[in-house]
Every structure is written in structure tokens, then in C-alpha cells.
Amino acid sequence: MNPTWLSSLLAGTFLFASMATLAAPDYSQLPERKQTTLGLYMSAAEAYEKLKAAPDKLTLIDVRTPEEYAFVGHPEMAWNIPFAFVTYQRKDGKTEYGPKMNANFVKEVKAFVEPTDTVLLICRSGDRSAKAVDLLAAAGFENVYTVIDGFEGDKVKDPDSVFDGKRMRNGWKNSAPWVYDIDPEKLILEEYASKETQ
């Protein structure tokens, strides 16, 4: 075997591996609804790896409704501070439902983490978490990332697939461990519950 050829191959392999390590993901093509004023983004797979490597340096907050958190599943290490709640009412014989913003969202986050802490927000698919990042940024938070593909991920776009239109392309549920188990200490709902029962 030619030693020059082997050393060139090894050098090329090392250079390729180094470039792959240094290359940051390109988030410049994100849909506007997933962009934030802070411009800090991670995929679910990246977020999982970062949390696994430094669990004491990052906080993951799931901003979905308590129902989504409980019944769809969630990352085990995620805290649930809803950005909005779902409300239901009967009116003229019809059931109406829709979102009701959590007026205490920023207050509940501030009671839990400092504005200089590194925080990752996750929702279903990256839309609500982006809005929540902007709300926190306006309140003085500096290091808040949105998980761009969320918990369930983006929709499959393939009319020939049985999964067409289903959120199975990426997202935490399709790329990292998750649970249905609820730790009541990780549900931050006190303010909402007390106001709703008054």
C-alpha cells in the first residue's frame, strides 16, 4: 500500500470530519412564523444532544397546553409552562373552542429561570415556541432558543405515503426519547388554575 495515498486519505477524512463538526446548521430559510427576534434556533435532535451533554446548563420548557403535554407525550426533562390554554364553551347549541393566552406566562417563566439563563422552548411544531421566545425577549430574556421542529415535527408532504399530512418528518417525538409520565412538580399551572376557579 502506498503510504502517501494512505496519509492523503487520512488527512482528507480528518478535514471532512472537522468541517462537519464546525459547520453550523443553516436556519436562514426558516418560515417567518418560526423566526424569532433573538435568532436562536435548534432542531429537536440538537436540543436533545445539548441537554444530554449539559443538563445543568440548559432548561427545556414545553409551552404546549397541559393536555398536549400529558396525552401526546413530552421530553422527560421538560417543564410545562403553557403559552396558551384551550377553552371550551357551548353557545347556541354548538361547542366553541379556541386558545386563551396565558396572561402569566412571562411571570411564571421569570419565577423559574433568570433572564440570562439558557432556555429552550418547545411546542408542537415550532410556531408557538417562536412567539413565546419573542414575548420573553421583550421582557429582557437574552438566551432563549426555539426548537424549530417542535415535539411532533413538521408534516410529511407525500401524497403516496400513508403518513401524508401527519407530523412525522422530524421533531422530538421522531428523534429523541420521550414519555407520557407526568411529574406534577414540572407542571407550572398554579396561577391559571386559581384564576379559573374564582
Q: What is the DSSP letter of 69?
A: H
And the C-alpha cell for 151? 415535539
Active-site residue, from 113, 123, 144, 147: 123
β partners of residue 71: none
Nearest to 24 by CA among 2, 8, 39: 39
Active site residue 123: yes
Are residues 120 and 49 in contact, defined by beta-carbon separation less than 8 angstroms?
A: no
Strand partners, 51: none
Q: Nearest CA to 189 among 107, 113, 114, 115?
A: 107
Contact 88, 96 (CB under 8 A): yes
CA dihedral 175, 54, 66, 155 (to 10 degrees): -30
DSSP assignment string, 143-176? EEEEETTTTT-PBB--TTSTTBTSB-SSSGGGTS
Longest dimension (CA), the chain: 84
- The residue among 132, 152, 133, 145 whose CA lies nearest residue 59 is 145
Active site residues: 123
